[in-house]
A and B are shown apart, each in its own frame.
Chain A
Amino acid sequence: MSLTVKNVIEWMNNFSSKIEQNKQFLSDLDTAIGDGDHGFNMSRGMTAVSQKLSTEPKTITDAFKQIAMTLISTVGGASGPLYGTAFLEMAKKSSTSSDIGDLLDAALTGIKKRGGAEPGDKTMVDVWTVLVSEVKTNTLTQEKIDSAVAATKDLVAKKGRASYLGERSKGHVDPGSQSSGYLFKALLETEGIL
């Protein structure tokens, strides 16, 4: 299957509505181990993205670039430059590949470079690492998404604000991992991409 401007827009609108429905929940997760703004940050960002995409971009590369720049300027928290970098790397990659696995791989490399986190640090990198390889082997499922998100619960945070809590960050799901779970769920639900 393949990426088109239309299904990218559908993917983003689906992601945006999941964020909207769960913004309080995401912020509550962030209250436990951070500053309580993750859902509101992402909601501000994705509302702006949907708005931006209501004028259809000409190419997939343009679409990803617009998503990236909008998130970078509107999100505010760490998730802004991180998701922003992810989509910026997808934009770059999309000029030479239309394979979603390749694009998500480039995005993950970008997130790791931007934030310096590795798997196990209790950040969105954990969920992305597991799920990008599921996408590449064509084996992404809802269960795998849920378990990748839930697996962040027992980790001790090494990066981001939660890291200031040390051992006390244990026992809570990482908010950025939860929102990343919604991104992959929206991807799974968008017909024609995977």
Chain B
Amino acid sequence: MSLGITLVSHVQEIITGLSALLEQVAKDVSITTAGGTNDEDIGTCMDKILQAFSENKADEILAFYDLGSAKMNLELATEMTSKKIHLYDVAFIEGAYTAATLIEAGVKLTEIEGQLEPLTLKK
């Protein structure tokens, strides 16, 4: 059972940058992204999130997002995929970075969640 990461942002460039940051420390972790709307505007899109879930090589995914409306689309996508998705209301960059480094180090999910806990934000 492997763990992967999906990043969801209103802006494509944000996750392009964030993936670069994560890949540097987590070369073996499958990281997939969904940025912007269908017509490449600012926003989020459930279809893109579903695709990011299915493109992810892992069967269990830790998902991180920027603003509240991304969470709504993430939850909708979570209800429509067969993969196991864990959604975290944590600081976007710090949370994703924490998860990426710990997955790369082979740390178990429960322990990763313990490390994410203090990064929780009211989103």
Contact = CB atoms under 8 A, between A and B. Distances in A.
A and B: interacting chains: yes
A76 B43 contact: yes
A76 B72 contact: no
B98 interface: no
Nearest to A160: B68
Contact of B45 (A35, A37, A76, A115): A76
B72 to A, nearest CB: 4
Contacts of B28: none
A73 B47 contact: yes
A159 to B, nearest CB: 7
B68 A80 contact: no
A175 interface: no
A115 B43 CA distance: 16
A78 interface: yes
Interface in B48-99: 67-69, 72-73, 75-76
Contact of B72 (A37, A41, A73, A78): A78
B46 interface: yes
Contacts, number: 49
Contact of A81 (B38, B42, B69): B69
B69 A73 contact: no
Given A74-B38, A114-B75, A159-B68, A81 B43 contact: no
B70 to A, nearest CB: 9
Contacts of A52: none
Contact of A72 (B43, B67, B69, B76): B76
A161 interface: yes
Q: What interface size band does chain B fall in?
A: 10 to 19
Contacts of A94: none
A165 to B, nearest CB: 14
B117 interface: no
B13 interface: no
Given A76-B37, A76-B38, A82 B67 contact: no
B41 A76 contact: yes
A82 B41 CA distance: 19
A110 to B, nearest CB: 11
Contacts of A114: 72, 75-76
A39 interface: no
A81 B46 contact: yes
Given A80-B46, A81-B46, 5 more contacts: A41-B43, A73-B38, A81-B75, A160-B68, A161-B69
17 contacts: A72-B76, A73-B46, A76-B38, A76-B43, A80-B46, A80-B73, A81-B46, A81-B72, A81-B75, A82-B72, A84-B76, A114-B76, A115-B72, A160-B68, A161-B67, A161-B68, A161-B69
Interface of B: 37-38, 41-47, 67-69, 72-73, 75-76
